[in-house]
């Protein structure tokens, strides 16, 4: 008798926000205005990529009220799915704006525990979504180097090549912060802007910072 165990699945969570249209209507004009004023704005770490970022202080803080609860519920539901007990946390985040030529290189968000991306303005027919790298890539690379073919879909699953993982505008996707990911250039040139809110979730002990948004300098 033999068995095969998939011991280390990578949990990815997705939900579409009910208040997305309200938040988009409030935030996008301000973010587009900032982008047009300073189109070459770039974080110091972003030497090897081409992306534009802004912190929470760049737009009116109360814009977040309409989506705050929904995102917290999503985080807590994700934690329940993972079997985690309730814990205090803070969210640190930043906005990303891409024209069709901008991209984000491979990176992760260690030392946070979870990361999230909220798709504020996104045309799935033209813009590129986040792509996650298979954690088994080292093993797969060794096999490829040995010219041994792999036909097991469980091992080959990778959003770099997976057409089943399709994100929509208004989606929030949550994932382990240690998971390597990237964003390619747009699928085709266009005049629109891809706008997302990226954030990290970190456990805290302070009773005064529960679930609050924290403005930070955009980080890798």
Q: What is the pLDDT of residue 219?
A: 37
Q: Mean pLDDT, the chain, as a whole number?
A: 81
Q: Please give the distance of CA 92 from its chain centroid, rounded to a whole number.
A: 13
Q: What are the residue boundaries of the structural domains of the chain, listed by start?
A: 13-130+167-210
pLDDT (tens digit, 9 = 90+) per residue, 177-215?
Answer: 999 998 989 999 999 999 999 999 998 865 544 455 554
- % of the chain surpassing 70 pLDDT: 72
pLDDT at 125 over 80: yes
Residues 107, 41: contact at Cβ < 8 Å? no
* pLDDT band at residue 9 using 50, 70 and 90 as cut-offs: confident
CATH superfamily of 13-130+167-210: q2cbj1_9rhob like domain (2.60.120.620)
Of the candidates 163, 167, 115, the one whose C-alpha atom is nearest the C-alpha of residue 10 is: 115
Burial class (CB in 10 A: 0-12, 13-18, 19+), 14: middle
If you average pLDDT over residues 53-63, what whole number do you get? 69
pLDDT at 19 over 50: yes
pLDDT at 220 over 80: no
Residues 98, 193: contact at Cβ < 8 Å? yes
Q: What is the pLDDT of residue 210?
A: 46
pTM for this entry: 0.84
pLDDT at 44 over 80: no
Residues 203, 113: contact at Cβ < 8 Å? yes
pLDDT (tens digit, 9 = 90+) per residue, 76-88?
Answer: 999 999 888 888 8
Q: What is the pLDDT of residue 63?
A: 74
If you average pLDDT over residues 152-170, what whole number do you get? 70
pLDDT (tens digit, 9 = 90+) per residue, 24-40?
Answer: 998 999 889 888 887 76
Q: How far apart are CA 33 and CA 59, in angstroms?
A: 11
């Amino acid at each position: 008798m033999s068995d095969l165990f998939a011991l280390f699945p990578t949990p990815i969570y997705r939900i579409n926000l009910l208040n997305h249209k309200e938040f988009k209507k409030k935030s996008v004009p301000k973010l587009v205005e900032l982008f047009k004023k300073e189109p070459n704005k770039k974080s110091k770490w972003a030497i090897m990529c081409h992306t534009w970022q802004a912190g929470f202080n760049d737009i009116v803080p109360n814009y977040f009220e309409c989506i705050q609860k929904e995102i917290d519920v999503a985080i807590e539901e994700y934690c329940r799915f993972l079997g985690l007990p309730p814990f205090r946390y803070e969210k640190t985040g930043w906005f990303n704006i891409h024209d069709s030529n901008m991209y984000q290189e491979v990176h992760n968000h260690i030392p946070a525990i979870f990361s999230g991306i909220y798709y504020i303005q996104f045309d799935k027919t033209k813009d590129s979504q986040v792509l996650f790298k298979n954690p088994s890539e080292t093993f797969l690379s060794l096999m490829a180097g040995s010219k041994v073919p792999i036909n097991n879909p469980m091992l080959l699953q990778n959003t770099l090549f997976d057409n089943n993982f399709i994100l929509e505008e208004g989606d929030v996707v949550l994932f382990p912060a240690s998971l390597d990911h990237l964003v390619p250039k747009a699928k085709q040139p266009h005049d629109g802007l891809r706008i997302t809110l990226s954030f990290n979730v970190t456990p805290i002990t302070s009773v005064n910072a529960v679930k609050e948004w924290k403005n930070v300098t955009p980080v890798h």
